[in-house]
Structures are given as C-alpha cells and as structure tokens.
Amino acid sequence: GKDTFANLLVVKIKERFRYKENSPVSIIGQPYSKFKYGIESKSFVENLDTKYGKERIIEYLTKNRIESEKYINSLGGLVICIRGALTDIATFNYAFNENTNNTFGLCSNIKYIDKLIIIDIDENEANDRIKNRNIKRTWREHLPQLKYFRDFYLKYNSNHVKEKII
C-alpha cells in the first residue's frame, strides 16, 4: 500500500542522496483531511463523490490546497506529496468530463514545484498487480481509469513545475 511505499521511498532517498538518518523528509498524502474542506476534498478524490457539485468542489479543493501549501512551507527539508495536486486536477477533469486549466490554488503559497516525479507503469501491468492483491478495488483501480490517469500524468505540463521526471 501507500504507507509501505512511502516508508521505502524515504529509506531509498536517504541512501541515494546520502542524507543523514535524521534528515527531514516528509511524506504527505493529499488532500490533507486536517485542513479546511479536507474531508470533502478527500471524499471527492478517493470516492469520486460529486454530491457537493462542481463549484463547491472547486472551492473545497482550492482552499485545501492553499492550506496544504502553507503547511508544506513550514516543514523544511524534502517534502513528498503522495496523490497531490495532479490527482485533484485529473479527478476533477474525469468527474466533470472537462479539461480544466484550474490548478485549485497550486503554487499559491510556494514558488514552484522543484520536481514532479511520475512513477510510471503500463496500465495492464498495474491492473494485473491490483487483481493479484485480492482486495476490493477503488474506483481508480479499474483498467479504463488506470489508463486515463496514466495518460493524464504523462501528458501533464505546467509552468508551476520546474522539472518533470518520469
């Protein structure tokens, strides 16, 4: 799962870049539920819950993103966002069948994103791995959605992102 991946990632980053064991590396899942509209934003992203309507979802995602970035600025060191702004944008586009340029407050409190790292895998291989877990799939874990999100992430470009690595 995400927690196992996150812990392994921190260990490997510290090894690769020769960080000290106590060097600050923070991993944050987003939307962040402890901030304003976090529960509503998370419900939308995780469950494709559109009951609040398009305009309110824009408000919720934006206010949550702004608060998240204030928090990220306070951390220092390396900060890794799992299921971050791109997932918000891609989910919104998927849910409302539009290609919005709305960034939901992305980089409103930070200068830019230093590195956007996309960990890529073929959607068919991902589908097979998910199938072999023998647990209930989330809405994003079906083949059409795996393909949609993969394509979205690989094609995404923004002037808020300094460097994109796949």
Calculate the alpha carbon distances from 59 to 43, 69, 113, 158 in Å. Answer: 14, 16, 22, 21
**Structure tokens, 49:** 């819950």
Token pair for 93? 């586009």
pTM: 0.85
| Cβ atoms 45, 87 nearer than 8 A | yes
The band of 56, judged by pLDDT with boundaries at 50, 70 and 90, is: very high
Instruction: State percent of the chain over pLDDT 90.
Output: 43
CA 77 to CA 58: how far, in whole Å? 30
Measured CA to CA, the distance from residue 66 to residue 59 in angstroms comes to 11
> C-alpha angle 31/165/47, rounded to 5°?
25
pLDDT of 10 above 90? no
pLDDT band at 82 (very low <50, low <70, confident <90, very high): confident
What pLDDT score does 1 carry?
63
Nearest Cα to Cα of residue 95 among 18, 149, 136: 149
Tell me what pLDDT residue 90 has. 94
